[in-house]
Amino acid sequence: MFPKRARHPVELVVIAFAISSLSACDINKAPRLDEQVKAAWSEVLNQYQRRTDLIPNLVETVKGYAHQEQQVLTQVTEARAKATSMQLPSDILSNPQAFHQFEQNQAALGGALGRLLAVSEKYPDLKSNQNFLALQSQLEGTENRIAVARRDYILAVQNYNLALRTIPDRWVAAWMYPDLKVRETFTIPQEAQQVPKVKF
């Protein structure tokens, strides 16, 4: 049996410094933020699904009053089919092409729904139908929930991406969690960034 050698005071200082540095770096920050991003993304998907579920009833209600608006009804139905048929890859949050395709499909669906609701202005009977009013109210509430869920997701991604890009979190993540990748976030379409021209 070998005699136990005493640690040199410099070794003790280095070990104490290393332990305190790791605890100060919050080595669990990156995975914790990653889980927050995933939770926020799940809420975004949940709200988009809520909107998708409302569409068939809304289309049927409008169809009963606005027979000649077949093109708008078809656009909504096709946009819904496109948005729901997209297979989301498991890496969608770090896959720019898939993420932005998903975003475009949802934006197209939102635009088609906007045109469908605009149609109701032409039909006073439809505008006063209780079923339509209830669906319209639910859809407006869902659009608000989507906006909140997207905002929460954007903030979660911002915090997560910041941790992966700044020191010392970047070093800790690279060393302890090398599989973590920067996440994609929602963008504003080019046409929405244009300042509206007001003419009098």
Residue 191 domain flag: no
pLDDT the model gives residue 189:
62
Residue 70 domain flag: yes
pLDDT the model gives residue 23:
54
CATH number at 112 reads 1.20.1440.20
pLDDT the model gives residue 40:
96
How far CA 175 is from CA of 25, 58, 140, in Å, comes to: 12, 52, 46
Which residues of the chain are modeled with pLDDT < 50? 192-193, 195-196, 198-200
Residue 170 domain flag: yes
Residue 15 domain flag: no
DSSP SS3 for 195: coil
Residue 19 domain flag: no
Residue 62 domain flag: yes
Contact of 153 with 186, CB cutoff 8 Å: yes
Q: Which two tokens stand for residue 187?
A: 């963008």
Q: Give the total number of structural domains in the chain.
A: 1
Domain that holds residue 98: 27-186
Residue 192 domain flag: no
pLDDT the model gives residue 124:
86
Residue 61 domain flag: yes
| DSSP assigned state of 8 | P
* H/E run at residue 133: helix 130-165
